[in-house]
Structure 1
Amino acid sequence: MRRNQSMVNNFLLLGFSNLPGLEGLFFFVFLTIYLLTLTGNSLIIMVTLTDQTLHSPMYFFLRNLSFLEICYTSITIPKMLENLLSKDKTISFFGCAFQMSLFLITGAAECYILAGMAYDRYVAICQPLHYTLIMSSRVCYELVAASWLVGVPVQLSQTFLVFTSYFCNSNVINHFFCDIPPMVNLVCGDISINELVAQVEVALLAVIPFALVLMSYVCIGSTILKIPSVEGRRKAFSTCSSHLMVVVVFYGSGMTVYLKPKSSHSLDMDKFLSLFYTILPPFINPLIYSLRNKEVRVALGKVLLTLHSQETNGHRKNEHSKTLGDIPTH
């Protein structure tokens, strides 16, 4: 079998080359979404850093989530945009391995940061008297650090297994980035170890944090229902509704690809479905938090007003300097 197997030096990312007439439109749409994603998440980071009223654990996690979303999209979208315009759609062997490992690590980090945010809401609603003691700065930093590090061993193991395999005389990836399903599809021979590691990966890095989120919201829901006043229940629910929407979008879009039965797997369909978990959550998260969260809306308004005032003052100073420059001197 070794004669029919080969190691490759680079891979060809097909992307959307099967739709050549639409590549220009795809480039414009994805570039617009990417720029809006960077802008929206950067504004969230700026607002939560500059406004003193948002210096709480809830917004600390939101700030880290926004930073993670910037990293998450920047791993895949720039290369996709390059391939949409270029005839050369290759990616180096090590570049592909690097892209896949970073994508998997940031995806796992997002799962656990969302779980950390759910735990924060659980403590705030179910144990409000102990909130400041439990959610100390040290605990918040430790939770975020653990979120980034927990997926590294498993994800690097998965990447190592895939890229030390033999590929069946093919380097063509039917996808717009180096993801697990299309890469494993190229591997020759027995892939049972890859599948085992993938199952461990899903259990540790997706199922467990999702279960933690569900447990948190079961407790939150039970506590909210015990609140006597309608207004109190509404306020309690509003503090976690944005996060709940983000969880539904992220996990719902990811599960459509990774938890589908093997018999229904289609690489072309997976390629389009993967747009929903690589592009959609980072794009709409800032919209969800800015539209549904009053504190963020107010803080964002202050930042935009400050920026506008600075721009206006700068323009007036320039006009004043020009006016003084036009006065004749003797």
Structure 2
Amino acid sequence: MNEHVTVRTATLDDPRIPALLGAYHLGTEAEKGVPVDSPDALPPAYRAEVLSPATAFARDTLLLAVDGEGTATGTVVLTAPHADGVPEIKRLWVDPAARGSGTAAALMDGALRRAATAGAPAVRLSVWIWREHALALYRKLGFETVRPWDDRPGLLCLEKRLDPAARVERLAPAHVRAQAADGLAALLVDAVDGGASLGFLAPLDTSAAAAWWLTVAEEAERGAREVWAAHGPSGDILGAVTLSRTDKPNGRHRGEIARLIVHRAARGQGLGGRLLAAAEEHAAREGLTLLILDTQTDSPAEGLYRKAGWTRAGTIPDFAADPSGTLRPTTLYYKRL
């Protein structure tokens, strides 16, 4: 996947959206053998999407792909869940000049991550059989042909089951407090024992870990920090992340990602990416435009952040001690929303 492509949740009044949707529909009509000259000549339902995305997709999530120069190069829509709880992926479009760069895969990854974070059991989509490259991508991602819900000739209906093993949800302050001495403390102790640089030295006492989470609960009650947790099938906490805000008047546009933790027994399932995506989505909805974080240099977390579209700002030597007490450098990252 192209690391220079960033996938963002768009505000539906973004002026770049109509052009991308218009290009998608004009291209589709041409492929169907009924070309039209402008969005004004599109069938009414499609024309309405181009003229007023905010109305057409009011309940949905629209993602934009942005290249390293800040140009929007593609889009995709993740609909609100249908009655069975399954959302649909629609309107995947990449500007012809950006094709072959991994943009389509990045958009699909963003949509699938958001669906998984929301706890969807599956995701579905439909594709015209002549779109061979798109169909190959969907097959590679694990989509399988299912009974059609749309019987138009030449249209394939596909579905991908999502891993139901864990759900990600935002924790209210009371829930953070209730879990502080149990699941959250155990999660933090496991991370520090595993060598994660989280501000603590090993061995970390469970009571000290619980006390830290109680402090987090107090910050959450003041609106200074928010917490997300990943829960396993039995309700056990497998991971967590927090989003902090500053009370300084000149910094209310930004937030800081801190304490992204996944239990060692649950790694390799994509939980870190899902937790990060949940915090980013919430930050964007709250109107934040910039996120920052720091992580130990050369740690596995750096790969996760780069894949999620974060930009490396620089490295500070001997910034903090790891759990064993050895001074390590830290790398600063930022992400514009």
TM-score by length of structure 2 reads 0.22
Return the structure number with greater relative CO, CA threshold 8 A, min gap 6: 1
The structure having more radius of gyration, on CA atoms, is 1
TM-score, structure 1 normalization? 0.22
Structure whose residues are more often helix by fraction: 1
More strand per residue: 1 or 2?
A: 2
